[in-house]
Amino acid sequence: MKLNTKLTRVAVALAGLVTVALLSQLRAANQSRPAKIDRVSRMPNMPQPYAMRDWAQVTRDYLDLAFDFERRGQSLPLVSWLDESRKMVSLPSYVGGAHDPEAINYLGAVISGSQVGLDMRNYRGQDWVAMSTSFFNADEGVYVNALGGQTGKSFWYDILPNVLAFQLNSLYPGDSAQDQRALSVAEKWNQVSDALCDKSTSNQLPNFDHTGFRLSAMQPSEMGWIEPEAAAGIAWLEYMAWTRFKDPRFFRTADLAIRTLIERNAERSPLYEVLMPYGALAAVRMNCEQHRNYDVDKLLAFSFDPHGRPQARPGWGVIVGRWNGLDAAGLVGSTTDGEGYAFAMNTFQWAGALAPIARYDTRYAHDIGKWILNLANAARLFYPATFDADHQSSFAWSHAHDPKSVIAYEGVRKWKRGASTASADVSTTNGKLIKGSYASTRLRNESPPDMEVFEETASGKERFEHIWEVNVPEIADRWLIVDAKRIDGGHANNEFQFSLACQSDGPFKPVFSVSNSEPSHVAALPPEIGKRLYIKVASASPASEEARDQLAIDAMAVTYRDTIGPFAQGDAVVSFIDLIRDATVPIVLYRPPSPATDLGLYGSSHVGILGGIVRETNVQGILQLDLLKTDYFHDHALPTYLYYNPHATTESVEIDVGHELKDVYDAIADEVILRNVRGKVRFTMPEDAARVLVLAPAGGELRHDGNRTLIGEIVVRYAN
């Protein structure tokens, strides 16, 4: 039948008007949005260069390598049976490192496989989910990071294994024994929160300003630092437990933990390592599902924004900016340590914890979409294939044994740390060399020990002295570090005094003294030092025949910011000594060559978070982000995806809605934008805008109930 041309033109025109109206409405919804995550506004809309990896394939290839018992080569296989019972495996935290399995490594890998569609109850013929229970400490009633370990040394090391175990419990429901362990975990951390409540105050909020908590003694532990983000991890655990078990104790504990974070001074961030984003997610879910009114902006600021001293972890947060021509925005770690040091595990965990927030509060959708685009693009910087050999610490192993580049470095620095070591022993006075030479001071912690050792000689009124020569680059911010100890030979009140000069005959400037076996000593090089540095060590007073001390020097170097960057590495190959100058200058010494590498499985094992969440679309730079993948223990939900358009033009994006007829609902615009569609269809994305799309059965009733929008009986939007 021939269609009426005039009517067809009218229909097309009306459709065009509807499309324009919807686009205008979406633009208005996005443009009227306040800047909810301030740090994201400093990131590029479209990171450059754009080089997105297929994170789902990276995840599958990683597990194929990490869980292959038959793989052969240096430091391979990575996985092995712990003993002849074959009830648990061993997995190193670093390639070439000790095969002591860690929960944050093992559980992360099992979750990653699950996120990309692998059944980890029967992967390569093994039940990896069942083996995860090996980390449950029945005496303490919680999961611990080391097999047979105990709690108390660090909140995040104690809480994260339990967070991961809860995630596995959500991914593999129906196991009554696993449910009982989850219930025990919730009860134990509920007891910890109660034990930390200050009953003398009016609000009786728990105080998490401790290093950790020993469950065996029910007492907080102090190691010289605090990890107040424990409140965030406990808030998430307890709210997940409440959704699962409906025990009011767990709801109360989640509320107290979040209030502890909310009432904290905004200039004293609780962020320490990895738990803080879980508090933001718990808060936004409780706002939507339980009608709370927590300040999510503040919790996100704690998660993203670095702060100077005094903080639990000065300088930590989300990185912005370009590193030697490469956008590194979105990665997580120290923003100040050597001008930036990002870590793989933290970056992956941040994405998983915060992505679902866009589903519960669409006001954050634009910023979360933009941030994850930057993060997912920059995360390739953790992997060896991104760089040549000069820009990474463990190139040889990866090049030989990981051709798909799926084992990430523990981290990546904006700049490599250089090290100049002694080039000569210049002179020794009133002492003798009894072991080694200047070459023995180039590396730290050799095995067997390789040190340069001197002994004083009796000389009446003259002190022992020794001078070294070091060739150093003429750049700013050079730091001498010496790892040495005085071996007491009876020389009372003696110490070995170090001083610096630009000529061998001085004048020398004193910098520090070694009196016992103290932590490594550090001093900034004076600006007048040029290409030659002379280091002198001298006894404080002359020795006698009866009392002569020894000085043993394990390592000595001048550390500085190299011109190579970014540089992929970790803390395994380089000895991390300290951070100085407001946590901006990393003081390091190099370790001797060994089988250990900086390729960190414990970070790589979490890559499945990106593998589950991130998919590319037909438009480069517009990602499809699955908002349900890491939203554990959520209520009944329909497939929900976040899209962000980084381009300055409107784009037509393709989505596959499946074989059955669907309606496509946009939670930001609160409108059904496509009706009765199947297969691959297209929708429009305005410039610099976000959509949160829900795929619903066609013809479902759209209705509003208080703060909720429902299709049928399923919530598809919360009004905030």
For residue range 518-549, what is the model confidence (pLDDT) as tens digits?
899 999 999 999 999 999 999 999 999 999 99
Q: How far apart are CA 590 and CA 210, in angstroms?
A: 32
Report, as an integer, the average pLDDT of 225-247: 98
Q: Which pLDDT score, from 0 to 100, does residue 401 have?
A: 98
DSSP category for residue 650: -
Q: What percent of the chain has pLDDT over 70?
A: 95
What phi and psi values does residue 62 have, to the nearest 5 degrees?
-65, -50
Q: Is the pLDDT at 15 greater than 70, yes or no?
A: no
569: pLDDT strictly greater than 60: yes
Asked whether the beta carbons of 556 and 494 are under 8 A apart, the reply is: no
Nearest in space to 277 (alpha carbons), one of 317, 223, 315:
317
pLDDT at 18: 41
pLDDT at 16 over 80: no
The predicted structure's pLDDT at residue 459: 81
CA distance to 145, 215, 673, per residue, from 152 (Å): 11, 7, 53
Residue 293: how many other CB atoms lie within 10 Å: 9
User: What's the Rg (C-alpha) of the chain?
Assistant: 29
Give the CA dihedral 564, 568, 569, 574, nearest 10 degrees: 0
Whole-number pLDDT of residue 19: 45
Nearest to 694 by CA among 672, 712, 677: 672
For the segment 212-228, the average pLDDT, to the nearest whole number, is 97
Read off the pLDDT of residues 354-405 as tens digits, 9 standing for 90 and up: 999 999 999 999 999 999 999 999 999 999 999 999 999 999 999 999 999 9
- pLDDT at residue 33 in the model: 53
d(CA 552, CA 515): 12
Pairing type for strands 623-626 and 614-616 reads antiparallel
* 607 burial type by CB count under 10 A (0-12 exposed, 13-18 middle, 19+ buried): buried
Q: Is the pLDDT of residue 249 over 70?
A: yes
Mean pLDDT of all residues in 676-696: 98
Residues of the chain with pLDDT > 90, as a percent, come to 91
pLDDT at 27 over 60: no
Mean pLDDT of 263-270: 94
**pLDDT greater at residue 202 or residue 619:** 619
User: Average of pLDDT values for 132-137?
Assistant: 98
Question: Do 229 and 158 contact (CB within 8 A), yes or no?
Answer: no
The pair of three-digit structure tokens given for residue 211, joined into one six-digit string = 């290093």
Q: Give pLDDT, residue 202.
A: 66
Lookup result for tokens 């100040």: 336
Question: pLDDT band at residue 490, thresholds of 50, 70 and 90?
Answer: very high
Q: Hey, what are 351's tokens?
A: 């994405």
The Cα 407–Cα 298 span in angstroms is: 35
pLDDT exceeds cutoff 60 at 186:
yes
Domains in the chain, ordered, with CATH?
5-32+635-718 (2.60.40), 55-414 (1.50.10), 417-561 (2.60.120.260)
pLDDT at 474: 93
Q: What is the pLDDT of residue 311?
A: 84
| pLDDT 10s digits, 274-331 | 999 999 999 999 999 999 999 999 999 999 999 988 889 999 999 999 999 999 999 9
**Average pLDDT, integer, range 485-513:** 97
Over 80: is that where the pLDDT of 3 sits?
no
pLDDT at res. 25: 52
Other beta carbons within 10 Å of 297? 15
192 exposure class (CB count in 10 Å sphere: 0-12, 13-18, 19+): buried
**Separation CA 263–CA 332 (nearest Å):** 25
Instruction: Kindly report the average pLDDT of the chain as a whole number.
Output: 94
Dist CA 271 CA 15 (whole Å): 50
278 contacts 284 by C-beta, under 8 angstroms = no
Whether 14 has a pLDDT exceeding 50, the answer reads: no
The beta strand positions in 370-416, using DSSP E, are 411-413
Average pLDDT score over residue span 118-145: 98
